[in-house]
Structure 1
């Protein structure tokens, strides 16, 4: 099952100083998919969103023109898989006689979707894999004691018994 997504925004990941395209589930707006891209790819997406044109066709414009010249259209794009923390996408093309898909980088697929006014989809697998992992909290640590030996339990008891003042200049 795939979910239709909308482009919610473009942000910068402060940890890696990398652009991130934020996609949001169109139907529920609850599922969010962050897609990390390079600076040039983010620029292509941003200029496409703003309908900025250049004197000469850029790469995505060239592909769009080719698709149109061949009497085809981009039906949709789908961020279809995640392998080794890397998203994979497909661009679906159709003509009077053919329907086919091509593998693409998500950034290129998103840019083509914008330029060709095609919907953006993400597979359920990708959305599930992209959910934030359970945050570390003390209650999680109590439930998931990694070191189940007597020594590990002693350390957990010791840390549990510490008063906030024991940390000196680091107030609780």
Structure 2
């Protein structure tokens, strides 16, 4: 299976669901985006690593991992998001030390936080982005860049309305697709990810 390289487009925060963030990844050579729901700590860690002006007074866990790896001459070559099961993404760190390569299983949010610190490329497989990717229009791409651009990631974004996200089981696939497009139009990537996962379960 061919690998697709991804880049971080931004992080979206929901004020109506405590601790819920959507990490938005996008194809480097394509129009699809891949929203992934992550926790508050990982969202903060990724945002801090992307923002060169912010330095925490004490190292975060992912900073400690980077310091530890540097001390023992371990390099992170790349991150691969290799599996998607019931809306959960599975990832691997491809590490190298003294010419020997190791593959380490990791949560996707941790993998991205580490990849940013090592300037390591992020990949996924074509079948995963085919299944879970969301297409955006050009103006929507620009809106995300302006709002959640990787050089200006903010954890304080506009309020996201997710009142109607409780139960998708009563909706048809056509209705889900319509809601998915509406969520993307409204830049509600957390909701879009949930609807996408419901559609995937029925496929």
> With structure 2 as the length reference, what TM-score do the two structures score?
0.61
Could you tell me how far apart the structure 2 residues matched to 1:70 and 1:94 are?
11
**Alignment correspondent of 1:105:** 107
SS in 1 for 2:175: coil
Q: How many residues align?
A: 136
- Alignment match, 2:175: 136
List runs of 5+ in structure 1 lacking aligned partners: 138-172
**131 and 116 in structure 1: CA distance in 2 versus 1, 3 angstrom threshold:** closer
Query: Partner residue of 1:37?
Result: 38
Q: 1:54 to 1:136 in 2, by over 3 A?
A: closer
Rg larger in structure? 1
- RMSD across aligned positions (CA): 2.1
Q: Tell me: higher relative CO, structure 1 or 2? Use CA pairs within 8 A at least 6 residues apart.
A: 2
For structure 2, list consecutive stretches of 5 or more residues without a partner in the other structure: 135-171, 177-203
Aligned to 1:91: 93
Give CA deviations for 1:29-71 in whole Å, capped at 9, x if unaligned.
x121001111121111111111322232211011111111111
Q: Is the 8 A contact 1:4 1:26 kept in 2?
A: yes
Q: Could you say if the C-alpha distance between residues 131 and 23 of structure 1 is closer, same or farther in structure 2, counting changes exceeding 3 Å?
A: closer
Mapped to 1, the partners of 2:106 and 2:27 lie a distance apart of 21
